[in-house]
A and B are shown apart, each in its own frame.
Chain A
């Protein structure tokens, strides 16, 4: 059981890293982009970069606000 936990923890740390909010924002940006592109037929190429910039800024703010 401990080995499975350690294996899971390794891959979580490898892919998600120190701040899961970054991954969540990227996935949310991609989901919204797909919905706009397929359901609303909007070519929202500008949306994901906005989410990426926001994810980095938000994560940096969270990491430094208490220091």
Chain B
């Protein structure tokens, strides 16, 4: 299979998570102290790299059908979580993730916290805030890198996609010196959810013992099919909302 879909999916997924981590790192660095913030970020990146280096190659040693069954199930469940949230956000049932307000919340908390040195770190709060932010957002990326990379026997290509996204988002964040609030995060999450669900379904079914018609080419049908179905669910929820609003408006008109 071509490595391009692998690199692109990991790149977009990683970009979304990097934007969220950047918001936390900026809040810690700009309101507390950059040195401790960078230390927290560096330690988190080392932990993430170690997990990728340890688990990624180990997974590739598993028999392919068992790997595809397990990883396919996890990817499909994970992808459906992303899709579910993206559809709920696109239809207004869930608030859109707003980096600007998330940044303000983090800044308020960072300004209120007392400054204390611990274990050789000048500002322990800035260190832990940055460490936790990068580690938690990065874990999802590591999961995607490992599962996609191991299944395609190409962890290196997945790491390239992730690293490119981190570099681009970091450079953009340094240039703007503010959270990247204008990036269409929900649509990026929609795209990642479609890819994760499609690949998870494809690999999971293969691991369960079926052969797809056309082999890998089946993905060219599966990806648009899952995208269309998700778009159909957005349309369905929006029309259901509109149907609820119309009688309410009519009853208001009658009563006035």
A interface, CB within 8 angstroms of B: 14-19, 22-23, 26-27, 30-31, 33-34, 37-38, 43-45, 47-49, 52-53, 55-57, 59-60, 63-64, 67
Contact of A14 among B80, B85, B139, B226 (CB under 8 A): B139
| Alpha-carbon distance between A26 and B237 when the two chains are bound, in angstroms | 22
| Chain A to chain B contacts (Cβ below 8 Å), 26 pairs | A14-B139, A18-B84, A19-B84, A22-B81, A26-B76, A26-B204, A30-B207, A34-B209, A38-B209, A45-B205, A45-B210, A45-B211, A49-B201, A52-B80, A52-B197, A52-B201, A53-B226, A53-B229, A55-B80, A56-B83, A59-B80, A60-B84, A60-B88, A64-B88, A64-B93, A67-B93
Q: Residue among B76, B211, B212, B226 with the most chain A CB within 10 A?
A: B76
DSSP class of A's interface residues: helix, strand, loop or mixed? helix
The answer to whether the Cβ of B225 comes within 8 Å of any Cβ in the partner chain is yes
A61 to B53, CA, bound (A): 40
Given that A63-B93, A64-B237, A64-B240 are contacting pairs, would A30 and B88 also be in contact in the complex, using a CB cutoff of 8 Å? no
Any A CB within 8 A of the CB of B230: yes
- How many Å lie between the Cα of A30 and that of B197 in the bound state? 14
A-B pairs with the 10 shortest C-beta distances? A37-B209, A17-B81, A34-B208, A33-B208, A45-B210, A48-B205, A23-B77, A22-B80, A26-B76, A45-B212
Q: Which residues of B contact A (CB under 8 A)?
A: 69, 72-74, 76-78, 80-81, 83-85, 87-88, 91, 93, 139-140, 197, 200-201, 204-205, 207-213, 218, 222, 225-226, 229-230, 233, 237, 240
Tell me, in angstroms, the Cα distance from A21 to B210 when the chains sit together: 24
For B229, the chain A residues whose CB sits under 8 A away are 53, 56
Contact check, B78 vs A15: say whether CB atoms are below 8 A apart. yes
Asked whether, in the complex, the Cβ of A60 is within 8 Å of the Cβ of B80, the reply is: no
